[in-house]
C-alpha cells in the first residue's frame, strides 16, 4: 500500500518514516496522500471540525494547514506506536521536508488546534501540551476566536 513512498529509518524516528507529497488538506488535522490511498490524521492534535458541521475556527484551521503544507508539498510522515487508527486512517507526525518544520506542533503553536492524546501514541504529548498552553496564554487563533 505504501509502495510509492520512500522509507527512511533515520536516527530521530522510532518507526519507519515515509516521504511523499500532500495531495490535499482535508481539514485542520487530516491530509490526503494518494501514495497511501488514505488520509493521514496528525497525531496529538485536534482541530475544530468542518464536517459534518462547521465548528468555530474549523475553516481557519483547514486554511492554516493548507498554508503550512499546500498540495504538492513534500512531507515526511513518522509513525509512533500505532500506524493506523480504528477508522483506517494513518496516524502520523508530519514534517515539511524542505525545512523540517514539525507540522503537528506548528498547528498547535499557531492556535489552529488543541492537543489530543492518542494513547499509546504520546511521544510528543508533553511538547504539544506546552505549545498549547503558550497559544492559550497568547490568545492565538481559536483561543481568542471561540
pLDDT 10s digit of each residue in the chain, 146 long?
A: 333 333 343 344 456 689 999 999 999 999 999 999 999 999 999 999 998 889 999 999 999 999 999 999 999 999 999 999 999 999 999 999 999 999 999 999 999 999 999 899 999 999 999 999 999 999 999 999 99
> pTM of the prediction?
0.88
Quote the radius of gyration of the chain (alpha carbons, Å): 14
CATH number belonging to domain 6-137: 2.40.50.90
- Residue in 131, 130, 124, 91 with CA at minimum distance from that of residue 108: 131
Cell numbers for 21: 507529497
**How many whole angstroms from its chain centre is CA 82?**
15
* E strand segments, the chain: 6-8, 17-21, 24-27, 30-33, 38-42, 45-46, 74-78, 90-96, 101-102, 114-115
Amino acid at each position: 500500500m505504501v509502495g510509492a513512498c520512500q522509507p527512511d529509518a533515520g536516527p530521530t524516528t522510532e518507526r519507519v518514516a515515509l516521504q511523499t507529497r500532500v495531495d490535499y488538506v482535508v481539514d485542520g488535522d487530516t491530509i490526503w496522500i494518494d501514495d497511501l490511498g488514505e488520509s493521514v490524521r496528525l497525531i496529538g492534535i485536534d482541530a475544530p471540525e468542518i464536517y459534518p458541521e462547521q465548528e468555530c475556527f474549523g475553516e481557519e484551521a483547514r486554511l492554516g494547514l493548507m498554508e503550512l503544507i499546500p498540495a504538492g508539498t513534500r512531507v515526511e510522515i513518522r509513525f509512533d506506536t500505532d500506524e493506523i487508527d480504528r477508522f483506517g486512517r494513518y496516524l502520523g507526525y508530519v514534517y515539511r521536508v524542505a525545512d523540517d518544520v514539525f507540522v503537528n506542533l506548528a498547528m498547535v503553536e499557531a492556535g489552529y488546534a488543541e492537543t489530543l492524546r492518542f494513547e499509546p501514541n504520546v511521544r510528543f504529548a508533553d511538547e504539544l501540551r506546552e505549545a498549547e498552553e503558550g497559544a492559550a496564554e497568547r490568545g492565538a487563533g481559536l483561543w481568542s476566536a471561540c
